[in-house]
Amino acid sequence: MTTIPPAPAATRQTLLDPGMDLTLRPMRYPHFFDRFKDAIKNTWTVEEVDLHNDLADLSKLSPAEQHLVSRLVAFFATGDTIVANNLVLNLYQHVNSPEGRLYLSRQLFEEAVHVQFYLNLLDTYVPDEQERFEAFAAVENIPSIARKAEFCFKWIDSIYELRTLRTREDRRAFLLNLICFAACIEGLFFYGAFAYVYFLRSRGLLHGLASGTNWVFRDESMHMAFAFDVVDTVRQEEPDLFDADLEHQVKQMLAEAVECEVQFAEDLLTQGVSGMSLTDMREYLQHVADRRLAVLGIDPMYGSRNPFAFMELQDVQELSNFFERRVSAYQVGVTGSVSFDDDF
């Protein structure tokens, strides 16, 4: 086997340079590889989620809450598939780093698990076959979901024709797509859904949905963090791509995403849900959008505060009584060998 020496620094390519880099040693982006390893430790499977008690809870919900849940699961039915498609069609080919692609491969697997989870969820929640078909066709049937889907498709299409990122404009288009999926779709659409599920969870309802979704969001948090990591890396390598123009476009995109999500909230909350008003939801979404801007180093657009105290519950360690819940805090992929003098 011959070893190819690393390219001299001057000719070393940047992350978005076209190509199919295969060299893992020396590793150019070890932080991507670390994210890949961390993700593997959090492997979960759909079979671990027990949806059994959810059915009893569903019948206890008020009609308004049932409507909320039905819209929510209809969104979940296709949301992750859209993200997976963009990953394959647009992201994978342009992130020219084998360790980065390892992470994206892992992300793709996770998206597939999420799709399977929500498939299982809908099969369980919606026993009537015809209704189930309609739920999976939500992107066509339900206007509030269709509008969100259109937003996603528009951004998928925006760079679909791009085979290589040669020009500055190409790269900015790529960045906008990446930021869109991280900040707007995973970071806002999913985070909006996050709030509804956690609202129900804080009241002890739909444990199956909540625990599965909890694991989904643990993954989504990592996806988003990886995407922002890519953005930061590109920013370091090619700072001139980031200017006021790009900032303006990001803001515009987020504002549009917020409006999409607010009209979805109007649909979900239309019949009145105690403890979750539309006013509060709008403020929450604006607050989340500001947080996404902050990560990108952009000033807030809204200056809104988080009105949902139950979201604070998601930020602290959980301690489940094992009589009641399956504990979800364990790690896969433990290393080391038997020894008797390690510190503990």
Q: Which of 103, 118, 196, 198 is catalytic?
A: 118
Of residues 308-337, those binding other proteins (CB under 8 A)? 309-337
Give the distance from CA 218 to its chain's centroid. 9
DSSP states along 195-257: HHHHHHHHTT--HHHHHHHHHHHHHHHHHHHHHHHHHHHHHHH-GGG-SHHHHHHHHHHHHHH
Given a contact cutoff of 8 angstroms between Cβ atoms, the answer to whether 309 and 281 are in contact is no
Instruction: Supply 332's token pair.
Output: 């896969």
Among 129, 161, 245, 342, binds other proteins (CB under 8 A): 342
118 flagged as catalytic: yes
How buried is residue 291: exposed, middle or buried, by Cβ count under 10 Å (0-12/13-18/19+)? middle
Of residues 64-93, those binding other proteins (CB under 8 A)? 66-67, 69-70, 73-74
Among 176, 225, 255, 301, binds other proteins (CB under 8 A): 225
When the beta carbons of 173 and 293 are compared against other proteins, the nearer one is 293
Shortest distance in whole angstroms from residue 280 CB to other proteins:
6
203 counts as binding other proteins under rule CB under 8 A? yes
Phi, psi of 254 (to 5 degrees): -65, -40
If you ran DSSP here, which 8-state letter would residue 314 be given? G
When the beta carbons of 151 and 308 are compared against other proteins, the nearer one is 308
Among 204, 236, 248, 252, binds other proteins (CB under 8 A): 204
Among 13, 42, 120, 249, binds other proteins (CB under 8 A): 42
Phi, psi of 81 (to 5 degrees): -65, -40
When the beta carbons of 88 and 146 are compared against other proteins, the nearer one is 146
* Greatest distance between any 2 Cα atoms in the chain: 68
Among 173, 253, 288, 289, binds other proteins (CB under 8 A): 288
* Catalytic residue numbers, as ranges: 118
